[in-house]
Chains A and B, each alone.
Chain A
Amino acid sequence: GAGVSQSPSNKVTEKGKDVELRCDPISGHTALYWYRQRLGQGLEFLIYFQGNSAPDKSGLPSDRFSAERTGESVSTLTIQRTQQEDSAVYLCASSLGLGPGELFFGEGSRLTVL
């Protein structure tokens, strides 16, 4: 499709397990963002990629969180040793990189840690 694609759409995991969330941005979009949205809350910035590099990782909540992007395309957000407080919707967005706000979001990956 032409939009931002995220997978899985839903993930239920046990505390302590690792999870990987994937984002396929819109083709040609150089900027890619990961956000976390807890139930009933706004969006919490996690990390931003320009191309394959991440100039701003300041939002990653702990060293259990990491992300990479390859081929200026697909990005993976990895959460190691998941905790219950990691339960949230993880949203990916991409943009042409020309401005800070015209982001196109995917539908999100809902993570539930039991």
Chain B
Amino acid sequence: GQQLNQSPQSMFIQEGEDVSMNCTSSSIFNTWLWYKQEPGEGPVLLIALYKAGELTSNGRLTAQFGITRKDSFLNISASIPSDVGIYFCAGQPLPLGGNNRKLIWGLGTSLAVNP
């Protein structure tokens, strides 16, 4: 099925460093979302983006909905050990429809933070 291109696949960083990851698609998306999944848990929504160009922050996290509507990035500033996990992007592709609630997911970015 359709998937988003998410990169990098994995990152190993030192505590305090900033992190950047992104997702791209060949088609236009109406909504971009970023989730975090920790071992043995379901994904948890971090940031939701609904408008092209939108830049939204949630604490140390910042995400942007690309102007072309085909990409999004997530930045984490001053990483800490509890940032460890897998970060997924997800998007709702156009066209919209009454039953179009299917999200397309990236394969995830695995983040490891060395204290």
Contact = CB atoms under 8 A, between A and B. Distances in A.
Interface of A: 4, 31, 33, 41-45, 48, 50, 55-56, 58-59, 91, 93, 99-108
Given A42-B88, A101-B103, A108-B41, 17 more contacts: A4-B42, A31-B101, A41-B107, A42-B107, A43-B90, A44-B105, A48-B102, A50-B101, A56-B99, A59-B102, A91-B42, A100-B102, A101-B90, A102-B33, A102-B48, A105-B43, A107-B42
Contacts of B100: 100
12 contacts: A41-B107, A42-B105, A43-B43, A45-B1, A50-B99, A58-B102, A91-B43, A100-B30, A100-B103, A101-B90, A107-B42, A108-B40
Contacts of A59: 1, 102
Interface residues of B, number: 27
B27 to A, nearest CB: 15
A88 to B, nearest CB: 13
Interface centre among B43, B45, B90 (most CB of A within 10 A): B43
Nearest to A9: B40
Contacts of A45: 1, 102-103, 105
B48 A101 contact: yes
Interface of B: 1, 3, 6, 30-31, 33, 40-45, 48, 50, 88, 90, 92, 98-103, 105-108
Contacts of B41: 105, 107-108
A63 to B, nearest CB: 18
Contacts, number: 73
A108 B102 contact: no
Instruction: Indicate the member of A44, A45, A93, A101 with the most B CB atoms within 10 Å.
Output: A101
A91 B42 CA distance: 7
Given A31-B101, A42-B107, A45-B102, A100 B42 contact: no
Contacts of A42: 3, 6, 88, 105-108
Given A31-B101, A42-B107, A55-B99, A100 B92 contact: yes
Contact of B101 (A4, A44, A100, A106): A100
